[in-house]
Amino acid sequence: MTDSTYQLPITQRLEPTTVAELAALVQQAHDQEIAVYPLGGQTAIHYGLAAKNDGWGMSTTQLNNIVDFPVKDLTITVETGITMQTLNDALAKEGLMLPLDVPQQSRATLGGVISTNTNGARRFGFGTVRDYVIGIEAVNGKGQVFHGGGRVVKNVAGYDFCKLLTGSVGTLGIITQTTVKLKPLPEESVTVVVGVEHADIAEACVAMLLESPTVPSAIELLYGNAWNELTGNFKDNLTLVVQLSGTAVETAWGQRRLIDDLKNQGAPGASVLTSETHFELWEQIQEFPAEERELTIQVKTVSSGAVPVIETCRALDPSCTIQSDAGNGVVTVGFDEIPDRGISGIVVTELGPLATTYHGHVETLRCSNPENLTLGTMWGHLAAPEWLHHRIKEQFDPRGILNPGRFVYQ
């Protein structure tokens, strides 16, 4: 799916083939004060505020090699223009995985995934981008090539640039190479599905699942007609979907146990999906945040916030579609039309305070017209003081050429 909703003000697209070339170009941009927009697969180009100035598009897609793949160390070092599809295929051949569940894998690049901190359903069982990136190379706004971490899984030498750059939206450096930890592919994955009639039952089920000895790898709450075909027809109710991964013995035991446990929480009739439906459903869940629509927001709270947020969104617009990583308190809501209250009415007035109650915030993942977004409607309250963000930006990109306007420094 190509993205037609937002175009960056790019005057020239550059595709350096080496890091040195990329660094030289950034240095030139720095000297001439030209904006630089890092580009990977451009699958998340709508993520962020509107760009400020005309500038160069700096594509990493020619930097796409596997640099080192010591399979038995369970790590891989790659250039960040590699697509998730290429990477995942290479890993799967060796029985390994990077379980991030990124949408639009044929285009999305690993560099983009790190920059936007894109995570998916299995974060409950397997963690997020920050748990996997152990080494990083990037080019800052002065054209300096810098590294953090290394290629070994345990390493505390120097400041952790891996964490600094994860989710920094390309504003502190263009990520050019990375080393990530890997996990063995599980022998088996199964999905247990059940319709949930009331919000309080949904909450009880999620709380139970968090403590379940079956150790789910994903706990999803779904709402909306879009899910009915694959999950069975639960109409106006919420659908609870649980993924179990492990050996065949573990998942066989786990699914039996879960069906009983869910029944005891007031959600009887759980069933196990066929393997074909299992794959289709998880793909649909994975792609949901990236689907083209008027407005997609993501509310990120603690786990207990998921059900109250879902209930509030349903009340705001019964025709919305919801996909929630309920074990982690992440609720993604798609609106086919921007509701009457407008983005700020939804994000700032309705959901913002609720998210704050549950220690979280609301992000606008996708909006047909980012010109309408503000810092408040895009990210809500920052998790660190603005002055500190500004000071760090000043050190890494003193002329403000990297992705100007798009992130939190206003």
Partner 1 sequence: MDGPVDLDKGIPVALVHELQKIIGSDGVLTAQSDRMVFECDGFTIEKSCPDVVVFPTTTEQVAAVIKACNRHEIPFLPRGAGTSLAGGTLAVGGGVMLVLTRMKEIEEIDLRDRYAIVQPGVVNIRLTQALAGTGYHYAPDPSSQGACTIGGNVATNSGGPHTLKYGVTVNHVLGVEAVSSEGEIFRLGGPNADPAGLDLAGVMVGSEGTLAVVTRVWVRLTRNPEGVRTMLGVFDSVDDATNAISAIIGAGIIPAALEMVDHDIMVALEEAFQFGFPLDAEAILIIEVDGIEAGLDTQRDQIIEICKSVGAREVRQAENEQHRQQLWKARKQAFGAIGRLASSLVTQDGVVPRTQIPQMYKTIMAIGRKYDIRIVNVFHAGDGNIHPVMLFDERDPSQTQRVLQAGGEILQACLDAGGSVTGEHGIGVEKVKFMKQMFSEEDLDVMAALRKAFNPNNRLSPDKMLPTAGACGMERKAPSKMVAM
Residues between 151 and 210 with contacts to partner 1, criterion CB under 8 A: 151-161, 163-164, 166-168, 172, 183-185, 207, 210
Place of tokens 């790659």: 78
One of 127, 232, 266, 400 touching partner 1 (CB under 8 A): 127
Q: Give residues 291-310 in contact with partner 1 (rule: CB under 8 A).
A: 300-304
Q: Is 328 in the site for partner 1 (CB under 8 A)?
A: yes
The candidate with the shortest Cα–Cα distance to 76, out of 108, 104, 117, 110, is: 110
Q: Is 334 in the site for partner 1 (CB under 8 A)?
A: no
One of 150, 232, 345, 400 touching partner 1 (CB under 8 A): 150
One of 5, 53, 88, 128 touching partner 1 (CB under 8 A): 128
Which of the ranges 44-52, 138-146, 307-315, 316-324 carries the binding residues for partner 1, by CB under 8 A? Answer: 138-146
Question: Which is nearer to partner 1, 110 or 281 (by Cβ)?
Answer: 110
Contacts of 127 (CB under 8 A, 6+ apart): none
For the bound state, the minimum distance from the C-beta of residue 403 to partner 1, rounded and expressed in Å, comes to: 13
Q: Is 384 in the site for partner 1 (CB under 8 A)?
A: yes
- Per-residue exposure over 206-217, b if at least 16 CB sit within 10 Å of its own CB, e if not: bbebeebebebb
For the bound state, the minimum distance from the C-beta of residue 251 to partner 1, rounded and expressed in Å, comes to: 9
Which of the ranges 30-38, 72-80, 262-270, 334-342 carries the binding residues for partner 1, by CB under 8 A? Answer: 72-80
For the bound state, the minimum distance from the C-beta of residue 308 to partner 1, rounded and expressed in Å, comes to: 13
**Helix or strand or coil: residue 265?**
coil
Using CA atoms, how far apart are residues 334 and 298, in angstroms rounded to an integer? 9
For the bound state, the minimum distance from the C-beta of residue 124 to partner 1, rounded and expressed in Å, comes to: 11
For the bound state, the minimum distance from the C-beta of residue 165 to partner 1, rounded and expressed in Å, comes to: 9
Q: Is 348 in the site for partner 1 (CB under 8 A)?
A: no
CA distances from 54 to 50, 175, 181, 357, 402 (A): 12, 21, 37, 39, 12
Place of tokens 């993942």: 365
Binding mask 229-248 for partner 1 (x = CB under 8 A): -----------------xx-
For the bound state, the minimum distance from the C-beta of residue 9 to partner 1, rounded and expressed in Å, comes to: 24
Question: Which is nearer to partner 1, 132 or 234 (by Cβ)?
Answer: 132
Tokens of 298: 């993501």
Question: Which is nearer to partner 1, 4 or 387 (by Cβ)?
Answer: 387
> How many other C-beta atoms lie within 10 A of the C-beta of residue 147?
13
One of 14, 53, 226, 253 touching partner 1 (CB under 8 A): 253
Question: Which is nearer to partner 1, 163 or 341 (by Cβ)?
Answer: 163
Q: Is 103 in the site for partner 1 (CB under 8 A)?
A: no
Contacts of 90 (CB under 8 A, 6+ apart): 66, 69, 76
Q: Is 389 in the site for partner 1 (CB under 8 A)?
A: yes
Which of the ranges 44-52, 141-149, 287-295, 333-341 carries the binding residues for partner 1, by CB under 8 A? Answer: 141-149
Contacts of 338 (CB under 8 A, 6+ apart): 294, 295, 368
Which of the ranges 9-17, 35-43, 332-340, 359-367 carries the binding residues for partner 1, by CB under 8 A? Answer: 359-367
Side chain identity at residue 267, one-letter code: A
> How many other C-beta atoms lie within 10 A of the C-beta of residue 280?
14
Q: What are the residue ranges of helices labelled H in 143-274?
A: 161-165, 199-210, 228-231, 248-264
Using CA atoms, how far apart are residues 364 and 385, in angstroms rounded to an integer? 20
Using CA atoms, how far apart are residues 174 and 165, in angstroms rounded to an integer? 9
Which of the ranges 25-33, 148-156, 226-234, 336-344 carries the binding residues for partner 1, by CB under 8 A? Answer: 148-156
**Sheet harboring 66-68: ordered strands across?**
66-68, 75-79, 174-181, 133-139, 145-149
Contact 237, 266 (CB under 8 A): no
Q: Is 131 in the site for partner 1 (CB under 8 A)?
A: yes
